[in-house]
Structure 1
Amino acid sequence: MSQRAYLDAASAESLHPAAREMLLSAVDSGWADPVRLHHEGRTARLLLDNARAVLADAVGVRADELYLTTSGTAAIHAGLTAITAARTRAGSTVVHSAVEHSAVLHTAGADGVEVGVDSAGRVDLDAFAAAVRQTGVAVAALQSANHEVGTRQPIEAAAEACGDVPLFVDAAASIGHDAVPAGWSALTASAHKWGGPAGVGLLAVRKGTRIAPDWPMDEREDGLSPGFPDVPSALAAAAALQARLSEAEELNKQHRAWIDEVRRRMAADIPDVEVVGDPDDRLPHILTFSCLYVDGEALVTALDAEGFAVSSGSACTSSTLKPSHVLAAMGVLTHGNVRISLTRDTTYAEIDRFCAVVPGVVRRIRAEVGM
């Protein structure tokens, strides 16, 4: 296949050159246990502290407010569970939007209080505020922006509505692609979303927000992520985020314009298509559209054959292509959907070719099923 276009950055982005260079260098210097007192251990500790400082600065916290985990999902599980456990006197209920990542939904459990969203995927702020004011609420969870449709959430207004209830923000979709919102008590992110290596997650917990891990603790990351730290990967994650932020202004401007073009061309060139998410107040690099009378798996497979790597179904359950809980909560078409998300290496030629190819692919699939 001569032409491949990877348009699935929201799932994972290839390793940033800055991360690759740092990783190769750090493998030879950061392999020792950073809690040991010998020279090799102190060297690893210095490198780990440097990585933490860079990552903390990028999300706007102090270094001692940032914990490193093995993934964004692990950061959500650890952080949300530990904050909830620390607030048992207030209650144990987690209030969350209906479009949160599955890790938040699973951690909140059946006793969580779900708040609906509008057709753009934005939380009903009045309903969110009312839910948080109920007795028994331990913590509120609201993503910075949606991982499937790109719509930003009103984090600062939600934080104000929360009052003394901590606001937990999953920022995996936005870190490296958008400004970090203000007002939150805890925030999570995942390095492979901004060009860092897989296996590095961030959990930032502001001072004054109590945490109480309810699992056996050790001396690492205050018990929030026990086990031997991957120092080279942490350094690579920091290098990638620092580099990504230096590129962000130009990349975001470029990506926003290209996504606007895809939005226009999909709506104009494909009958019975629904382009979803807020057209303006959104992440710059993500777009989802759904095609009536088309199976999502068939569409992804056909586009892959044409050289395009895209996703479909729920971003949390793509291995089974279950209907997206995000799109269902928005009340929009849940099948025949495609999410594209642009990388730092995406070119306009790839976007133009994608827009030219998709209408024909959709027509062919519809014809095959007699539509």
Structure 2
Amino acid sequence: MSAHPVYLDAATAAPLHPVARQALLAALDDGWADPARLYSRARRAAQLLDAAREATAATLDVRPDEVSFTPSGTHAAHSAVLGGLAGRQRSGDTLVHSAIEHSAVLHAAERHVATGGTATSVPVDRLGRLDLAAWSAAVHSPGVALAALIGASHEVGTVQPVAGAAAACAAAGVPLHVDAAQLVGRVPVPDGWSVLTASAHKWGGPPGVGLLVVRKGTRWESPWPADEREFGRTPGVVNLPAVVAAAASLRAAAADAAAEAARLTPLVDLIRARVAAEVPDVEVVGDPVDRLPHLVTFSCLYVDGEVLLHALDRRGFAVSSGSSCTSSTLRPSHVLEAMGVLSHGNVRVSLHRDTTGADVERFLAELPGIVAELRADAGVVGL
């Protein structure tokens, strides 16, 4: 193991932002009481919760009463989809979604279908970009209750045409849920959505905090048992210290987002160029232009993805993968599969505020040799 590990998996979970750490520690002392009670400690907790909600709403340019905090981004996505469908039962029972949605959305779609509803999957092209013509046709079909579109692919970095998809939904009178987990705190979120979800640990907040934003006028009903907290949208007491830390870190991350994008984009460009030039039989996937500033994915032929990740980990590099033939599923990533690109030996590299140019250079210097060694071990030579 390297003496200096390099973390390159921010798309899964970004390192805790210093602002989040400070806010969390302060809120542990000051925000442990139930904000729904009337005594002084509870009123102080309620003030912290209100301030966190107002700060989050200001960052997202929405109303505070449109924002609810959930136990996770997955919970928020389930709530968005199932609640959006419940609120529009009189309009129909069809959910339209892209083929590359996060598994949380796809699992909610499976639950909807299992209980008698229908779902339509809209394809993407080889760059992972939504087929807008097919999307428009799908949302204009009879009986569509809700549409769901991921704002940017968490596996390949392609930014989706949310504005165009939202315009098609508006013309059809269909509300749109946008999974903005990879957008919030990093890049501006396009307008036109009715329901938005995100996850705090993607922008450097603590794990265990999701965002569910339901715009006023949207027909949405909670799919969970009744609860008076969080405007009735999600049951249970919120983890107030974590919520305070999430709101504080979101404000800090959003303030630095443009500068971070300008810093990280050239590093991702460098990875895309060097990997393609220096590793034989590799495919760099995702849109080279309309993409997230911090994420790049590539696939290496003749290399098992799980073996490659372990080899990189032994050399001190923490990365992720959507590769086929993993021990848990024996299936390729549904995103790579939908794109029709190479999934074998897939590596996803995602940078963060602590990533340096030296980290990237070291990764690029060691990657070709690691891949060559694995191919030699597998009996693949002469490439």
How far apart, CA to CA, are the structure 2 residues paired with 1:138 and 1:303?
A: 45
Scaled by the length of structure 2, the TM-score of the pair is 0.94
Counting aligned pairs with the same residue, the percent is: 58
- CA shift for structure 1 position 200: 0.4
Map of 1:134 onto structure 2: 141
Map of 1:28 onto structure 2: 29
Counterpart code for 1:108: A
2:262 is the alignment partner of 1:253: yes
Contact in 1 for aligned 2:305/2:323 (Cα 8 Å): no
- Structure 1 stretches of 4+ with a deviation exceeding 6 A read none
How far apart, CA to CA, are the structure 2 residues paired with 1:208 and 1:106?
A: 26
How far apart, CA to CA, are the structure 2 residues paired with 1:349 and 1:318?
A: 33
Structure 2 unmatched runs, 5+: none
Counterpart code for 1:174: L
2:319 is the alignment partner of 1:310: yes
- CA shift for structure 1 position 319: 6.0
Contact in 2 for aligned 1:312/1:321 (Cα 8 Å): no
Map of 1:146 onto structure 2: 153
Contact in 2 for aligned 1:314/1:325 (Cα 8 Å): no
- Aligned pairs, number: 370
2:117 is the alignment partner of 1:117: no
- CA shift for structure 1 position 40: 1.1
How far apart, CA to CA, are the structure 2 residues paired with 1:279 and 1:207?
A: 36
Contact in 2 for aligned 1:47/1:235 (Cα 8 Å): yes
Contact in 2 for aligned 1:80/1:168 (Cα 8 Å): yes
2:21 is the alignment partner of 1:9: no
Map of 2:346 onto structure 1: 337
Scaled by the length of structure 1, the TM-score of the pair is 0.97
2:217 is the alignment partner of 1:187: no
- CA shift for structure 1 position 222: 2.6
Map of 1:107 onto structure 2: 108
Counterpart code for 1:139: L
DSSP-derived class of the 2:296 partner: strand
Map of 1:49 onto structure 2: 50
Contact in 2 for aligned 1:129/1:162 (Cα 8 Å): yes
DSSP-derived class of the 1:112 partner: strand
Contact in 1 for aligned 2:155/2:322 (Cα 8 Å): no
2:164 is the alignment partner of 1:157: yes
Contact in 2 for aligned 1:219/1:226 (Cα 8 Å): yes
DSSP-derived class of the 1:91 partner: coil
Which deviates more from structure 2 when the two are superposed, residues 68-77 or residues 240-249? 240-249
Map of 1:40 onto structure 2: 41
Counterpart code for 2:341: V
Contact in 2 for aligned 1:274/1:291 (Cα 8 Å): yes
Where does 1:218-257 land on structure 2 (aligned, <5 Å)? 218-257=227-266
**CA RMSD of superposed structures (Å):** 1.4
Structure 1 unmatched runs, 5+: none
Contact in 1 for aligned 2:322/2:336 (Cα 8 Å): no
2:364 is the alignment partner of 1:355: yes
- CA shift for structure 1 position 318: 9.5
